[in-house]
Amino acid sequence: MAALMRINDVAKKYNITKRSLRYYEEVGLLNSRRIGASKSRYFDEAAINRLEQILLLRSVDFTINEISKVLLSDNRESTFEIFENRLKEIADMIDELNYCKGIIASFIKIGKSIGVDKVNIYQLLRDQIYVHNNDERMLSMEEKYEGDIIKVEFGVAIVPIVCPTECDNFLDKIKEMRNKIETETSKRIPLIRVLDNEELDEWQYRISIKKKVMLDNNLEIIAPEDRSSAMLSYLESIVKTSIDEICN
């Protein structure tokens, strides 16, 4: 008879609870033998091999339902489809974590630059979520988004200029400018990505076309009331002069 392991020994060796082992039996993933008057559970070599497969799949965060489909199916194509779907789910989770990371990193950088005692935590967080959400919205508005063809990056001091106020919305003005150029040139202008960049100086802003930096400037020397219009003016000029490169 092949060597058998008691449930207590299996639980100890694989650092798993007896309850989990019983659950795997209940859902049909494992089989045990009941031996002796006490009807203790024993696992044979095949069951141990199956348990190791289950734990391997659990280590890469597969659900029990997914594990069941993988282990109990003889269809390799459907098995690979399960892996592909799981990969997509993980990629989506990574995107979500990077989204949260970007918001929190910007929040910390801006908060420190303003002074932690002066920060309105919830307003600053709302501003950061707005900027990041708008960027994500622009990226998903069109199925055939061309990538970061036109990108505007800015330092932490410029965030209040970009975030919406009752009478001024920088992002709406960019959209109006883009539509205006499209009407004038009869050419389609790709969506413009706008995002804060904590690596830039606080008043620095940068405009890039197809990853080529077209303008790297500083707004600190410009009067506060003129900063938004200055950024828009520079952006419009660069887009117009680079129209052929943008649309090719």
Residue 114 has pLDDT above 70, yes or no: no
- Treating both helix axes as pointing N-terminal to C-terminal, what angle do 45-59 and 18-26 enclose, rounded to 10 degrees? 100
CB 193 within 8 A of CB 212: no
* Stated pTM of the model: 0.49
Q: Encode pLDDT of 209-226 as tens digits.
A: 988 999 999 988 888 888
Q: Encode pLDDT of 37-69 as tens digits.
A: 667 889 999 999 999 999 999 998 899 999 998
Q: Could you tell me the strand order of the sheet in which 33-35 lies?
A: 5-6, 40-43, 33-35
**Other C-beta atoms lying within 10 Å of the C-beta of residue 106:** 23
Half-sphere exposure of 135 (CA within 13 A, CB side): 22
Q: How far apart are CA 189 and CA 191, in angstroms?
A: 7
- Domains along the sequence of the chain with CATH: 5-72 (1.10.1660.10), 80-247 (3.40.30.60)
Write the single-letter amino acid at 213: V
Q: How far apart are CA 132 and CA 137, in angstroms?
A: 9
